[in-house]
Amino acid sequence: MRARVIGGLAVALFVLSACAGSSSGTGAGGSVGVIASPSAAFPVTMTDDDGQQITLAAPPERIVTFAPSMTETVFALGLGDEVVGVSGAYDDYPPAATHVQQIGGAGEFGVDPNIEEVVALEPDLFLTIEGGDQWKQQLRDLGIPVVTLNATDLPDLLDDIRTVGRITGAVEEADRLTADMQTRADAVTTDVEAAGGPVSCFFEVYFPPLTTVGPDTFIYDLLRRAGCDPATAGAKTDYPTWSIEKLIADPPDVYLATPESAKSTAAVAKRTGFDAIPAVAAGRVALIDSDLVTRPGPRVIEGLEALETALHPSG
CB of 253 to another protein, least distance (A): 15
Rounded Cα distance, 159 and 9, in Å = 33
**Closer of 218 and 242 to another protein (Cβ):** 242
Rounded Cα distance, 152 and 271, in Å = 33
Residue of 5, 129, 6 whose CA lies nearest to 73: 129
**Closer of 37 and 272 to another protein (Cβ):** 272
Angle at 187 between CA 182 and CA 192, to 5 degrees: 125
CB of 263 to another protein, least distance (A): 8
Largest Cα–Cα separation, the chain: 61
CB of 40 to another protein, least distance (A): 38
161-200 residues labelled b (16+ CB within 10 A) or e (exposed): bbbbbbbbbbbebbeebbeebeeebeebeebbeebeebbb
Rounded Cα distance, 36 and 105, in Å = 35
**Closer of 108 and 180 to another protein (Cβ):** 108
**Closer of 184 and 263 to another protein (Cβ):** 263
CB of 244 to another protein, least distance (A): 6
**Closer of 8 and 33 to another protein (Cβ):** 8
CB of 284 to another protein, least distance (A): 17
CB of 116 to another protein, least distance (A): 18
By CB atoms closer than 10 A (0-12, 13-18, 19+), residue 50 is buried
Per DSSP, the residues of 248-288 read HHS--SEEEE-TTT-S-HHHHHHSTTGGGSHHHHTT-EEE-
**Closer of 163 and 212 to another protein (Cβ):** 212
Binding site for another protein (CB under 8 A): 1-2, 4-5, 8-9, 11-13, 15-16, 19, 89, 105, 108-110, 206-211, 234-237, 240-246, 248-249, 251, 260, 271-273, 275-276
